[in-house]
Structure 1
Amino acid sequence: MRYQEISNHLSSISLGDLPQQWKMEFEYLPQGVQVDGLWYPALKMEWAEGETLLQWLESHHQDKKSIEAAVGRFKDLMMGLSAAGVAHGDLQHGNILVASDDTLRLVDYDGMYVPALSGLLGTESGHRNYQPPSRGVEDFGSGIDNFSAWVIYLSLSAVAADPSLWGQLHEPDAEHLLLERADFETPGSSARFLTLLQHPDSRIRELAQVVIAMVDRPLAELPDLGQGIVPAKVEDAGNSDEGADPARGGRPAWLQSHLSVMDGYSRSAIRGGRTFRGRRAGDVTLVASTVSLVLTPILGVTGSWDVGLTAVAELGFGGLLAGAAVLGWRSRAEVREMLRDSETVGQLLSHIGDPGVGHAQLVTERERWEEEESQRIALFTGGQKELTQRLQKEHARIEGEMRAAMALLEIERTQLSAIFQAAIDKAAEPFRHSWIEDRLQQLEVDRAYLSIGGKKVLRALAEAGIRTAADFTGFRVGGTGVLLVRRDGEAIRVPGVGSHRAALLRKWRERSIAELNRQCPIALPEQNAREVEDSFAPQFRALGDRQRDIETAARAAKDYVTVRIGGERANLVKLNKPAADAAHAMREEFDRRAAQLRSHAIELQALKRESSILEEQQRALSLWSYVRFLYRVRS
């Protein structure tokens, strides 16, 4: 019923509707195979050409562009499955094939979920290196692929960003990509997860935290790959500025307090700028004093003023008027505001400096630091790779020793099996002999094709007691001629039977026995066979025990090596952690400074615009403009 429902649902999915052509032709045959006259169902699936995902990564992990494309294709595949209401059930490297055109195919649909199977239990729990530890057959629904999809997506994304992670975290011949079951069982002490969490690439760190957050959550609650990252995101402190005011788009608070005023000026300038408007009482007094100064020479000529005294008075009064004009100009509110704004913008321009020069210095500094950091990372990853190679060599040595011991054990088992079969055959011989004897008694001599001279010779044989193939065993030549040996061992002479006829009789009997041996259906009775088996059972058990001992010793040796080198790996990671943390902090500092320089560049442009506006206002509000404003005649 399951396979029929899976077949029906897959048949309803059009290949044209799939972003990745993952579906293989699949048909359920109720009468697929006939065994002993009975029909059994079978699954008929299209033959799939391609490499498994693991094989493909082994040969392509250095090709970043290909891996990046595979990341997108895998995400498309998962979105296509979700849209079709299908879950594979055992999503892992062996069931994902990469075709010659680099598209992805899925095989092995035994554990697949389709909507018609809702409410049933699953038939499997999936590959252990791709499933959360808590998954069981009761986890069977549209979300059963979510965890394994994120595990594969993390592995592909990490290798795409940093191909060296393949050599660090994947072991040759291992049944996983970058992570395995032990990492999911204890993520807090996992060296692989720690490597990913400390990676310089923030995307790798974020995806690693996402998978860790999923380990203990029920499958039904996990987001599918198409939903994106919905667990708590890792905040990147490098994207924010210290002291920034979020309400103003990230500007530093100290700069914003100044630029808030300048924003006001910019809007004023756009509305027409500042000009002198409205004469004050002081302005009128200044104008009247100037008129008086102009009229004094005229009075001095026409009146009784002394000319020399008048000139001196005019010079002194003119100086006072000039000073009064300057004071009047500076006392104007619009002039005071303009001068204050010019001073503020000048200070800000001096404080910000040239962001371009700062950016060039930051780039140089960061490149030098990144080069040093890459050397440090190379030493760390080289150490990890060396540990992985040591682990692989140790495992290979243990496997070789185990195979050699097992080969010797197999030779012993083969020899013992031959002895056991010989014992079975020997025990069965009396039963076979009795059956053959019965059949020989049914083979009468007169049925044989013998050139023995007709009925006279047959009658002589009968008189000698030889009527069937069972009545004689052969012949021998004695002093009185050829003697036939009867079944009881007595040798008798039969008239008319010489050496030629005796040989023909013996050959006929031997051919008959050979044919009966081929036809004999008699096997050793069960009770007798059990007795033979019981006699050999201790020896076979001993061989089995020795095999288990060899396998157990090999596993223990591999576990010991794994734990020992794992401890060295953990210690290496521990020693690297302070440097990795410092590197992370330094990257955040570089990011902060870069963001600050970008902010300064934006503010510099704003300040330059403000400075240009202020230059226009300085011309409009100059001392000369003020004098013209004073004596301008209104129409």
Structure 2
Amino acid sequence: MSRIKLKTAKGMDIRDAVLDASSILPVNLRGYSAQLTVDGEAYALKGGFALSIKIVKPNNKPQCLRCWTDGKADESQIDYLVEVADIINKNNDKDCPYFIGFNIVERLLKVDGIELPGLIMDWVEGETLNKYIMANSGHSGAQIKLVAQKFAKMCNILNSRKISHGDLSAVNIIVKPDGNLKVIDYDSLYSPSMGRKVQYIAGIKDYQHPQRESATYYETYMDYFSQHVIYAALLIMANNASARPSQQLKNLLFTESEFSSPSSFRNSSVVKSARKLRVSDIDRELDIIERALNLPLSQIPPLVDSSSPMVKTIHKFAFCSACGNKFSSDEFDYCTVCGAKRNSYTIE
């Protein structure tokens, strides 16, 4: 367990304090100062539990200071992130370059005479996925399709290492200037090596299965539904420019209300419009999401990177995507009620 005591401050007080470079306490950060906005304020990003501040120093990598803010944070978060840091540092390699390593320090920033603890990590340049999509909404779908492919590969690797992010969404994925991806915000990241962990973050509802909020513990499969939601949205926007957002939103295409039932999803305007594209990959993902809404979280299949040689097994859906009839055997490739071709998905 961590011996670091949690101390918090108001976000505005943190932003004001960091304007004085002497308030940055770690010796290895001497010479760094806050990156300023055009308004002369410290450049910062607000999360659910903390404030991330960009600090810079000539001829050095920009760094990120992450301090807990007043409100939801509690002592257990520090203990949890100590374990998360160990998972990330062990898995942050050339085959899994999706994390940003970090250190937790007891004396990070002095605010109104109080020395706050917090995280130090590299500041990664880029845009969150939702901002990236909006910025590229007028371009061809090739860029978005490439991001979709990289997203599928990332999910495949994280799944193979039994690591779940816990709050996978377009605001927690960074698209770097070179097009590669990073995931950020690790307050709910989980691996079985951490043991049984009680869930206290259920993720943004526009990306989550309805059962996620009532889950008791974090599990390795808790990202699977979100993976399909994000991947389907990217494929749809890559193939249909009119589906791309005209304003910055936390969600990509789908919203919580569409996940209330299979029929709500099936009959939504987004899904109906996407079906008209007649793109097999899109139809497959929509089928998986619709069926998943009738399944417990533990039975939802993971997103599969179709370019990966690890894909080996074909599984047929138990229900007809057209009429809902349940297949009595795997030997049927067509529905015995309506005649629709049976859909399938692959996993390693």
TM-score, structure 2 length as denominator?
Answer: 0.60
Q: Distance in 2 between matches of 1:81 and 1:43?
A: 23
SS for the counterpart of 1:43 is strand
SS for the counterpart of 2:84 is helix
Which string of whole-angstrom CA distances, capped at 9 and with x for unpartnered residues, describes residues 76-129 of structure 1?
Answer: 111221233311111111111110100011111111112233311122111111
Q: Are 1:213 and 1:231, in contact at CA under 8 Å, matched by a contact in 2?
A: no
Identify the match of residue 104 of structure 1 among 157, 181, 184: 181
Identify the match of residue 317 of structure 2 among 204, 217, 232: 232
Q: Are 1:96 and 1:104, in contact at CA under 8 Å, matched by a contact in 2?
A: yes
SS for the counterpart of 1:93 is coil
What amino acid does structure 2 have at the position aligned with 1:24? I
| Residue 76 (str. 1) matches residue 153 (str. 2) | yes
- Give the Å deviation of 1:22: 1.3
Q: Are 1:155 and 1:177, in contact at CA under 8 Å, matched by a contact in 2?
A: yes
Identify the match of residue 136 of structure 2 among 46, 60, 71: 60
Q: Distance in 2 between matches of 1:204 and 1:102?
A: 22
Cα RMSD after superposing both structures: 3.0
Q: Are 1:7 and 1:26, in contact at CA under 8 Å, matched by a contact in 2?
A: yes
Structure 1 gaps of 5+ residues are 238-584, 589-635
- Give the Å deviation of 1:224: 1.4
Structure 2 gaps of 5+ residues are 1-78, 307-313, 323-339, 342-348
Which string of whole-angstrom CA distances, capped at 9 and with x for unpartnered residues, describes residues 249-271 of structure 1?
Answer: xxxxxxxxxxxxxxxxxxxxxxx
Identify the match of residue 15 of structure 1 among 93, 96, 112: 93
Percent identity between the aligned chains?
25
Q: Are 1:132 and 1:216, in contact at CA under 8 Å, matched by a contact in 2?
A: no
What amino acid does structure 2 have at the position aligned with 1:48? V
TM-score, structure 1 length as denominator?
Answer: 0.34
Number of paired residues? Answer: 234
| Residue 116 (str. 1) matches residue 201 (str. 2) | no
What amino acid does structure 1 have at the position aligned with 2:229? V
Q: Distance in 1 between matches of 2:126 and 2:319?
A: 37
Identify if the C-alpha distance between structure 1 residues 227 and 57 changes in structure 2 by more than 3 Å, giving closer, same or farther: closer
Q: Distance in 2 between matches of 1:96 and 1:138?
A: 25
SS for the counterpart of 1:44 is strand
Q: Are 1:67 and 1:159, in contact at CA under 8 Å, matched by a contact in 2?
A: yes
Identify if the C-alpha distance between structure 1 residues 210 and 159 changes in structure 2 by more than 3 Å, giving closer, same or farther: same
The equivalent residue for 1:371 is none
What amino acid does structure 1 have at the position aligned with 2:134? E
Which string of whole-angstrom CA distances, capped at 9 and with x for unpartnered residues, describes residues 202-256 of structure 1?
Answer: 332222121111123222221111377846299999xxxxxxxxxxxxxxxxxxx
SS for the counterpart of 1:105 is strand
The equivalent residue for 1:159 is 237
Identify the match of residue 50 of structure 1 among 123, 126, 136: 126
| Residue 140 (str. 1) matches residue 218 (str. 2) | yes
| Residue 190 (str. 1) matches residue 268 (str. 2) | yes
Matches within 5 A, 1:523-542: none
SS for the counterpart of 1:12 is helix
| Residue 181 (str. 1) matches residue 266 (str. 2) | no
What amino acid does structure 1 have at the position aligned with 2:241? P
What amino acid does structure 1 have at the position aligned with 2:191? V
Higher helix share: 1
Identify if the C-alpha distance between structure 1 residues 218 and 27 changes in structure 2 by more than 3 Å, giving closer, same or farther: farther
The equivalent residue for 2:100 is 24
Higher Rg? 1
Q: Are 1:5 and 1:116, in contact at CA under 8 Å, matched by a contact in 2?
A: no
Q: Distance in 2 between matches of 1:111 and 1:16?
A: 23
Identify if the C-alpha distance between structure 1 residues 73 and 115 changes in structure 2 by more than 3 Å, giving closer, same or farther: same
Which string of whole-angstrom CA distances, capped at 9 and with x for unpartnered residues, describes residues 154-200 of structure 1?
Answer: 0111222333332xxx4623321111111111324422222223433
